[in-house]
Amino acid sequence: MQASKFAVCAVLILLLACGAHVSESVTCNPTELSPCMSAISSGSPPSPLCCSKIKEQQPCFCQYLKNPNLNKYVNSPNAKKIASTCGVSPPKC
């Protein structure tokens, strides 16, 4: 169960990060998206903290999409819905 939550967070990160370049101040860490786990797994609305983390990790999404363990979560319908709700464009890697 914990592995699937981590994967869901990673998917969100991938979706958001693909649209931006990685900046030097961002540390790419899919666990930073843990505040989004419940929204990704249940489809519930994201919390303000979740949106903040998604925006913070957005530069990392392309990196996360390249990871086969994270890709399926980042491309999930719930992850895309959360990104849209948080005002983050889908990644263009």
Which has more pLDDT, 20 or 25? 25
- pLDDT tens digits, one per residue of 60-92: 999 999 999 988 888 889 999 999 999 998 888
CA dihedral sign of residues 35, 38, 40, 46: negative
Highest-confidence segment of 25-29, 36-40, 69-73: 36-40
User: Has this prediction a pTM greater than 0.95?
Assistant: no
Reply yes or no on whether the pLDDT at 14 is more than 60. no
CA distance 52 to 50: 5
CA dihedral sign of residues 42, 48, 50, 51: positive
CA dihedral sign of residues 73, 78, 81, 87: negative
Architecture of domain 2-85: Orthogonal Bundle (1.10)
Q: Can you give the residue ranges of every domain in the chain?
A: 2-85
